[in-house]
Amino acid sequence: MRHEDERKVLEEELKRWQETTLREALEALPERRKEFITTSGRPVRRLYTPLDVAGKADERLGNPGGFPFTRGIHPTMYRGRLWTMRMFAGFGGAEDTNRRFKYLIAHGETGLSVAFDMPTLYGYDTDEPEAKGEFGTCGVAVSSLDDMRILFSGIDVGGVSTSMTINSPASVIWAMYLVMAEGRGVPWAGLRGTIQNDILKEYQAQKEWIYPPEASMRLVVDTFEFGSKHVPEWNTISISGYHIREAGATAAQELAFTLANGMEYVRWGVDRGMKVDDFALRLSFFFNAHNDLFEELAKYRAARRIWAREMRDTFGAKDPRAWRLRFHTQTAGVSLTAQQPEMNIVRTTIQALAAVLGGTQSLHTNAFDEAYQVPNERAARIALRTQQILAHESGVANTVDPLGGSHFLEALTDELEAEAYRYFDRISELGGVIPAIRKGFFQQEIANSAYRYQREVEDKERIVVGVNDFVVDEQTEIEPLRVSEASFKAQVERLRKLRRTRDAKKHEQALERLFKACESDENTMPFILDAVRAKATLGEICDVMRQVFGPWEEPLLY
């Protein structure tokens, strides 16, 4: 009753303000635009008040570390431990990237994150014809166990957590990491890290697929099952909105598609016969941080709330830890401009701030030269320093969810949540995630949003500083980062030597056994591990799978 009375008073006060103070102000100075919109094109009202926030605060927010985790998954958040500063790095051969890892560790990064080159992402060895021209250009080439060993030489793999951005061939690359650790006497039980392994968003956005969706999903669930038994601290998936957003999606689409994918993985795991509590703890997430501070914040908070509710109520997870959505964040590569690139440091700072205010568990900050190339050393260091300034100088890590309770933020969180549920309904109407992929639903939604954004920039409805306004005519000096011919030659030579010196019979048998396992219902992980131990290369292992599973042809649309 009291609540309703308060509401009435607020409504009356607001009305009075609108009719007097506001009206006079608008008469004296009209607003700059008719409509204000977020980066995603969502209209933003002039003012938000408690009237815009429905429902009870305890149901919407709870307390940090408690259901529905809107305010964060830990009771003390960054007062207990700062987020992991994890810089995505990789170029050239394993030696080049190993040097960059050591450089970043020396400058204070706290977790590793491996970027692989295009051939590796598609399951080709460096010396295959499909790999022509692509060696090491946007990540490191890892074709064999030998490359993996060099990549991590001198790095404490028992102590560090390693994230690997690898999807279609994720189980093979993970097997190489596990066999590398085994060779160094590091027990799997203590290994910490993440394989991205999120194939659904590949069909939707990132497009690094090899096999059709069902076969790929089976490989993903194989890693869930294997990981829960043998590598319990490892996140066997990072369910990623990042690439969905980069491909053009709005914040709401990123949120909705990512969580729809997340729920699809849970269904597949349950269908395999696993208990949801046995694998849900190892599901992790990965979101984008774009320019629009409040919209991004609202997205992370809505994501936590939806996931907690769905895991508890829809999937019946009993362990409260399974209700918590843990996520990595990367600032928006797509927001970086080639024009006046130094300004990208400012953009990245705002985006990183959103991630931290949004309660991220780990963060990668992009380097300012990335509209030109994979970052050079200096640019990568500035990006890392940006995180360190946020952590140690800005004060935002001193309290939990500092913006919680902002009327605007809470209203936006509710709006994004509601929009996500509307998308879940549409996806169900299309028959679920995979049928919607086959129909090109996600792909078309994303392409439409990308085009609308670009039109807004063209029509100057949206200002991009240095691109369509505040333009200067100057030559940009970026210290180039080039992949050396010597690295390429060393890599090819290493591969040839491996093929020459390995035990041919053991190798052949391992691949034959893998072939049979792929054709059967058996978990493929043990067979992949044996193939890696027998020095089969990435390309050879993926060729076996290509033979069994066949290719994927995506619906062509734009």
Partner 1 sequence: MVPIPRKIRVLIAKPGLDGHDRGAKVVARALRDAGMEVIYTGLRQMPEDIVEAAIQEDVDAIGLSSLSGAHMTLFPEVVRLLKKRGSGEIVVVGGGIIPADDIPKLKRAGIKAVFGPGTPLGEIVSFFKKAGKGA
In angstroms, rounded to a whole number, what is the distance separating the alpha carbons of residues 420 and 258? Answer: 10
Return the residue of 30, 80, 133, 395 that touches partner 1, per CB under 8 A: 133
Instruction: Closer to partner 1 by CB, 201 or 299: give it.
Output: 201
Q: Does 185 bind partner 1 (CB under 8 A)?
A: no
CB of 362 to partner 1, least distance (A): 24
The contact mask relative to partner 1 for 470-499 (x = CB under 8 A, - = no) is -----xx-x-x--x----------------
How many residues bind partner 1 (CB under 8 A)? The answer is 44
Quote the DSSP letter at residue 328.
Answer: E
Single-letter code of the amino acid located at 545:
M
Q: Do 464 and 116 meet the contact criterion of CB atoms below 8 Å apart? A: no
Q: Per-residue DSSP letters for 275-291?
A: -HHHHGGGEEEEEEE-S
Q: Is 556 in the site for partner 1 (CB under 8 A)?
A: yes
Q: Tokens representing 495?
A: 């591969």
Does 248 bind partner 1 (CB under 8 A)? Our answer is yes
Q: What is the x/- site pattern for partner 1, positions 499-538, by CB under 8 A?
A: ----------------------------------------
**138 is a contact residue toward partner 1 (CB under 8 A):** yes
Residue 208 binds partner 1 (CB under 8 A): yes
* 3-class state of residue 305 by DSSP: helix
Q: Which range of residues in 72-80, 390-398, 460-468, 515-523 is near partner 1 by CB under 8 A?
A: 460-468
Q: Does 40 sit near partner 1 (CB under 8 A)? A: no
Q: Is 137 in the site for partner 1 (CB under 8 A)?
A: yes
Which tokens sit at 509?
């048998």
CA–CA distance from 174 to each of 148, 167, 201, 304 (Å)? 10, 10, 19, 28
Interface region with partner 1, contact rule CB under 8 A, candidates 31-39, 74-82, 127-135, 169-177: 127-135
Distance of alpha carbon 361 from alpha carbon 366, whole angstroms: 17
| Alpha-carbon distance values, 189 to 117, 182, 186, 227, 256 (Å) | 29, 11, 9, 10, 34
Q: Taking the CB of residue 451, how many other CB atoms lie within 10 A of it?
A: 12
Cβ distance to partner 1 smaller for residue 180 or 380: 380
Nearer to partner 1, 65 or 466 (CB): 466
Residue from 155, 338, 492, 548 that binds partner 1 (CB under 8 A)?
338
4 binds partner 1 (CB under 8 A): no
Shortest Cβ 145–partner 1 spacing (Å):
22
User: Distance (Å, rounded) from C-alpha 276 to C-alpha 272?
Assistant: 11
Q: Is 93 in the site for partner 1 (CB under 8 A)?
A: no
**Cα gap 426→406, rounded to integer Å:** 31
Q: Rounded to the nearest 5 degrees, what angle is found at the Cα of 371, between the Cα atoms of 366 and 373?
A: 85
Q: Pick from 212, 316, 200: which is nearest to 256 by CA? A: 200
Report the C-alpha gap between 258 and 200 in whole angstroms.
9
Is residue 373 at the binding interface for partner 1, with CB under 8 A as the rule?
A: yes
Residues near partner 1, by CB under 8 A: 118-119, 121-122, 124, 130-134, 137-138, 206-208, 246-248, 334, 336-339, 371-374, 447, 450-451, 454, 458, 464, 466-468, 475-476, 478, 480, 483, 554, 556, 558
